[in-house]
Amino acid sequence: MTKLKIKSGDTVQVIAGDHKGTEGKVLKVFIDKNKAIVEGVNMVKKHTKPSAQSPQGGIVEKEAPMHISNLTLLTSKGEATRVGFKMEGDNKVRFSKKSNEVI
Q: Which CATH number goes with the domain that contains 84?
A: 2.30.30.30
Tell me what the mean pLDDT of segment 78-96 comes to. Answer: 93
Per-residue pLDDT at 103 exceeds 90: no
Number of domains in the chain: 1
d(CA 1, CA 49): 36
| Domain region containing 20 | 11-50+59-96
> Does residue 103 sit within a domain?
no
> Does residue 89 sit within a domain?
yes
Which letter, b or e, does each residue of 57-67 get, where b requires 16 or more Cβ atoms within 10 Å of its Cβ?
A: eeeeeebebbe
| pLDDT one-digit tens code per residue, 17-61 | 999 999 999 999 999 999 999 999 999 999 999 999 888 989 999
Beta bridge partners of 43: 63
Share of the chain above pLDDT 70, in %: 99
> Does residue 4 sit within a domain?
no
Beta bridge partners of 44: 62
In the prediction, which pLDDT does 54 show?
83
What pTM, to 2 d.p., does this model score?
A: 0.84
Per-residue pLDDT at 9 exceeds 70: yes
Per-residue pLDDT at 92 exceeds 80: yes
d(CA 84, CA 71): 15
d(CA 63, CA 76): 24
CB 102 within 8 A of CB 94: yes
In the prediction, which pLDDT does 1 show?
59
In the prediction, which pLDDT does 74 show?
94
Per-residue pLDDT at 67 exceeds 90: yes
